[in-house]
Amino acid sequence: MKLKWILICFLIYGSAFYSSLHVYSRQSAKETAEDAGKLLPVKMKYFRDVHSTKEIQQWVREADESGETISIAGMQHSQGGHTLYPNGTLLDMTGYSQILNFSPKEKKITVQSGVTWADIQQMINPYGLSIKVMQSQNIFTVGGSLSVNVHGRDIRYGSLIDSVESFRLLKPNGAIINVSRTENSDMFPYVIGGYGLFGVILDVTLELADDELYQHRSAAMNYKEYETYFNEKVKHDDSVKMHLARISVAPESFLKEMYVTDYVLAEDQGNREKYMELKKEEIVALPKFMLGLSRYSDWGKGLLWETQKEFFMNNDGKYETRNNVMRSDSEFMEYENPNRTEVLQEYFVPVDQFAEYINDLRAVLEKEELNLLNITIRYVGHDEDAVLSYAKNDMFALVMLINQGRSEQDIQVTEKVLQKLIDVTLDHDGSYYLPYYSYPSDKQLKRAYPRIEEFFEKKREFDPEERFNNLFYERYGQ
């Protein structure tokens, strides 16, 4: 009996201790913020959970009067401090998430910037409509996606700026303006792809597409064949609407073997309703386990590559709606390690230079220590609407997933390797994507984005007090 009471007391004490520890950890988390890269923990002065336009306007005006600095956050998957600034105010926009207007007839939707792509899909799917441009996963906020001007698997609509009709912007002084291609149009190409430096994007009107039924078409090939395959079988075939490729990082076929998936418009669109139910996360445990193996061994990388290739090749002929293609699983990629993290890099290279570029990339990587886990390849057509456009030509985009340590020494080692990769990319008339850790040098930034000084000058003109700030701007713009 005595032992029983001792155990009960221990459980009560343990529960109380856990609860207090949990509360303490939440309070501690409220003092420090970090983005998805987990390399930039930053102590913030204030955290503001946003729910209304009035709240945001009040906080921005107060900050303007007191001289506080503001940074803006959604899901915080930009990994270079774009949502952080030391001792500043962080506006968490994820609670600012109402769908304000939806017109199926006009194929348009107006949403607050904290709405996720998943929220929009839930609303528009029953009406046979789909999003035009978004990332491969649907977990991100619309405001964050606009701030980095995303692209995705669709090969016909370009980057996100192409599908934006208009948005409302809360300026650094608290005033609100409408921005479109005809109203305050000078701000349109700066704010989209502006990384939160010009103000708060409040709500956005987006153009929508039809939710078509696609059939998967898969093929395996050598990297030297890819450019020809893409030009002949994908780009100039109007029935191909979306496209995704992967290139091997396994030692035996490193940057040589590829497989592709094309999403071809199904001949019988009358079957769409049969497949239109929005899919949820599929089996997660197995791919999560196999990705874990690939982090720690070449054998694991080889096994993951062969398994991925077999899975996608076996999907040849599968039917899937556009909305479901744009709901890729992401849960299996979640990774928690106190000493390591996973970062993304994305390099853009002209289509006609792909094979030569891969040869030069391989030559660097075979000499360097870089724990490269995956490379996916997408296509982005030439599009210079945004001032900081990454698609100066018709480009292949190579998205790299890298496992690295968090120490200063680890960061320096990764920086050295990635700067070499960026030089290779620039030498092939390419560019790199800006939402990731600030490994590139100032010189590399100016080569990749020749209008970057114009961008920073516009930022200082529009926000002379630098009310909106982040670590990306501090690193490159000040």
Reported as a single tens digit per residue, the pLDDT across 413-439 is 999 999 999 999 999 999 999 999 999
User: Which of the residue ranges 25-39, 53-67, 233-247, 427-441 would you say has the lowest mean pLDDT?
Assistant: 25-39
Q: How far is CA 11 from CA 4, 8, 72, 419, in A?
A: 11, 5, 42, 53
Model confidence, pTM: 0.91
* Per-residue pLDDT reduced to its tens digit, 139-174: 999 999 999 999 999 999 989 999 999 999 999 999
pLDDT at 24: 32
Residue 2 has pLDDT above 50, yes or no: no
Q: How far apart are CA 158 and CA 129, in angstroms?
A: 18
Confidence of residue 4 (pLDDT cuts 50, 70, 90): very low
Confidence of residue 180 (pLDDT cuts 50, 70, 90): very high
Residue 283 has pLDDT above 80, yes or no: no
pLDDT at 61: 95
Of residues 213 and 337, more confidently modeled? 213
Residue 287 has pLDDT above 90, yes or no: no
Confidence of residue 330 (pLDDT cuts 50, 70, 90): low
pLDDT at 40: 94
Confidence of residue 219 (pLDDT cuts 50, 70, 90): very high
Residue 281 has pLDDT above 70, yes or no: no
Residue 9 has pLDDT above 80, yes or no: no
Q: Which domains does the chain have, with CATH numbers?
A: 94-210+452-476 (3.30.465.10), 213-446 (3.30.70.2520)
Tell me the average pLDDT across 317-344: 87
Residue 111 has pLDDT above 50, yes or no: yes
Tell me the average pLDDT across 426-455: 98
Percent of the chain residues topping a pLDDT of 70: 92
* Per-residue pLDDT reduced to its tens digit, 356-385: 999 999 999 999 999 999 999 999 999 999
Tell me the average pLDDT across 393-406: 97
pLDDT at 282: 65
Q: How far apart are CA 210 and CA 272, in angstroms?
A: 11
Confidence of residue 27 (pLDDT cuts 50, 70, 90): very low
Of residues 198 and 333, more confidently modeled? 198
Mean pLDDT of the residues in the chain: 91
Tell me the average pLDDT across 62-88: 95
